[in-house]
Amino acid sequence: MKKSKVLSKITLNQITDFALSLDKKYLYTKDNDYISIYDISNRSKPSILGKISSKNYYGEMAISKDLNKLFITKYDKNAKRTSLAVIDIKNPKKPREIATIPINTTIRDLKLYKDNLYLLLGSLKDYFLKIDIHSFKIKKIKTDMYVLSDITFFENLTLLKALSHYLILYKNEHKINVFNYQTKWHNFYKRIENIKFTPNGKYIIFIANKNAIGFKRLKTLLPSKENQTDKLYNPKDYFGNFYTSIIKPNANNPIKNIIITKDGTKLLVFAGINIFVYDITKII
């Protein structure tokens, strides 16, 4: 095995989030002082291009594919108001806030998919928000369930976790099924997190109880007839047996994150200070 090599280091004041541009040429970081933009096209010599004060900004950042906008949660302590901030990064040397979109409740998570930003909200909201990143038009999508987290996408499917027991499956924003994975699947999995689709869309992979990785086969992704999109489908049409396989890393620390490589052949599992790499071609 080849020994890894550190190419360069960037010193920050307690980093709270970072993001990479799709072309891997820019690095966006957020620490206690600034949101900064780095040119990392030369990995050995990263250079800072611009920065903006990170005061009142918190949570994850999302970067538009055209690299023109950065989205992040903003909280005005004086007004006690939460909004979604839009920062213009078209000129990376001069990032500037150009808009705020009132949300007025806690933003638990935000995910960018294609040209829309999806916001999962706190305060027991039974809906999530879809925001067009060009027009800033907001659409409310009802779930009839609460405590929303772990939203993920594959083509026109959206999978969303609610409470600690349910997965909600949408097709083109129409709810087509709800899964109670504690009772319908297996009581062993009392907490499922970090749900991801495999690149081929045939499986979901997730963290189970913070100490195991579960694999769930998507037996049939889409109905055969497009005019059936608003019908409630049997879960067996989408999912086969509860799991195909289980991985339990030999680690004392809980599993924090998982990443599937783009070709779908490797799974990276982050637990404590360890990174486990698995060949999952025989599993999926």
**CATH code for position 267:** 2.130.10.10
| Domain end residue (candidates: 99, 120, 142) | 142
Q: Mean pLDDT over all residues of the chain?
A: 80
Mark whether 151 and 282 lie in a shared domain. yes
- pLDDT tier for residue 190 given thresholds of 50, 70 and 90: low
Whether 19 contacts 63, CB under 8 Å:
yes
Q: Is residue 218 part of a domain?
A: yes
In a domain, 4, yes or no: no
Is 60 in the same domain as 155? Answer: no
What's the confidence (pLDDT) of residue 53? 95
Asked whether residue 284 falls in the same domain as residue 153, the answer is yes
Statement: residue 246 has pLDDT above 80: no
What range defines the domain where residue 256 resides?
A: 146-284
Looking at per-residue pLDDT, the higher value among 226 and 145 belongs to: 145
Pair (133, 246) in one structural domain: no
Q: Indicate whether 270 and 250 sit together in one domain.
A: yes
Residues 103 and 202 placed together within one structural domain of the fold:
no
Closest CA relative to residue 151, chosen from 143, 140, 160, 142: 160
Confidence of residue 32 (pLDDT cuts 50, 70, 90): confident
* 117 has a pLDDT exceeding 90: yes
Task: Using the 3D structure, point to which of 142, 157, 190 is the last residue of a domain.
Answer: 142
pLDDT at 267 over 70: yes
Among residues 94, 127, 142, which one ends one of the domains? 142
Domain count along the chain:
2
Q: In the predicted model, is pLDDT for residue 96 greater than 70?
A: yes
Shared-domain flag, residues 165 and 280: yes
- pLDDT of 268 > 80? The answer is yes
Q: Which residue has the higher pLDDT, 237 or 86?
A: 86
* 212 shares its domain with 129: no
Residue 111 has pLDDT above 60, yes or no: yes
Same domain, 247 and 283: yes
Long-range contacts for 188-194 (Cβ within 8 Å, ≥24 apart)? 189/214, 189/242, 190/164, 191/164, 192/150, 192/161, 192/167, 193/149, 193/150, 193/161, 194/150, 194/257, 194/258
Instruction: Indicate if 161 and 65 belong to the same structural domain.
Output: no
Residue 184 has pLDDT above 80, yes or no: no
Tell whether 150 and 284 lie within a shared domain.
yes
